[in-house]
Amino acid sequence: MAKHKIAYLALSAPELDLVEQGLAGVDYDLQVHICSSEGEAIEAVKGADIILDLSVALTRRVIEEIDTAKAIVSFGHGFNHVDEVAATDHGIIVANTAGFCSEEVSDHTIMMILACAKKLTYLNNEVKAGRWDSSIRSRIVPMKAIDGSTLGLIGFGNIARTTARKAKVFGLEVIAYDPYVQPWIAREYRVELVPSMEEMASRSDFVSMHVPLSKSTEKLAGASLFKAMRSSAYFINTCRGPTVDESALIRALQTGEIAGAGIDVFEDEPTSSDNPLLKMDNVIVTPHTAGTSDASFDNGALQIGQEAARILRGTLPLSLANPGVLNVIERRPPGTNT
């Protein structure tokens, strides 16, 4: 009999090769559970030592039924489908695979910045429609140069830091608002931390969201942020749709409070075909694909196994999503990359 029982909850059959590669050296039995309801999730978590989760909602009701598992490891940066408060209340570690798609999402963010600034989709549509004449240049000004502009980041975690590094290649100055980040980390990336979102917004030519979705970040970007932004500035969101008050964003765009937006994520997904954001020439949209690449899927699968292995060996995960749990569980040594 294997020493550890692992329950892998998913909406459809996951690829396991890289997950099991990450678990190398651990004596385990892994069972996949395809869950389409809360009841199925409750049954799946019973008797497990650790739970791996691929987009299955783990509500407080599900977590309260966990009888033996010490941890939940969620695939992806976002873990809003896991009630981390309930997990903390019950002494259950929640980990994610932070960093698995930092390069992809930061690339997408930079792409959005460049495309908005250079009015790429508008020019693409004009040329394809046969509207190429001497007036086209006058129709796309004013067009502020990217070099020397300022990028403001809301949140300064893994993806934002990677974005900052790449933004500097294009000559962007980078500032950030994140009350949870120590100032020496920002200095390492040559990024200035500012004391409020509104100050950050007022100084930026591009404002980009990089926060996880939680109760504290829901609709974090709202009317006050957009009012503080320059009328020539662009808003970018590649994290989670509900971190933004979408109605306030639409109003800001309709009234000219901001110049445009690049949006990969929406409050409701798939978003309605009637969403006004889809009908605006100054808004670039993509279908929640910022983190997608062959490499990111492989990285995430490997990491979910590696984090599970760390926890089963008695250490902390590298990506602890609910640090408050440290106050209620037995002390564990830090996890390592070895």
Longest distance between any two alpha carbons in the chain, whole Å: 77
Question: Which one from 240, 257, 307, 310 is the annotated catalytic residue?
Answer: 240
Residues 6+ apart with CB under 8 A from 335: 307, 310, 311, 315, 316, 317, 318
C-alpha separations of 4 from 115, 155, 222, 225 in Å:
49, 37, 46, 48
Here the tokens at position 249 are 């964003």
218 is an active site residue: no
* Contact criterion met (CB below 8 Å) for 253 and 261: yes
33 is an active site residue: no
User: From the centroid of its chain, how far is CA 334?
Assistant: 24
Give CA–CA dist 110/235, Å, rounded. Answer: 12
Here the tokens at position 274 are 């009637």
Quick count: other Cβ atoms within 10 Å of Cβ 85?
A: 15
Burial of 164 (0-12, 13-18, 19+ CB in 10 A): buried
269 is an active site residue: yes
Residues taking part in catalysis: 240, 269, 288
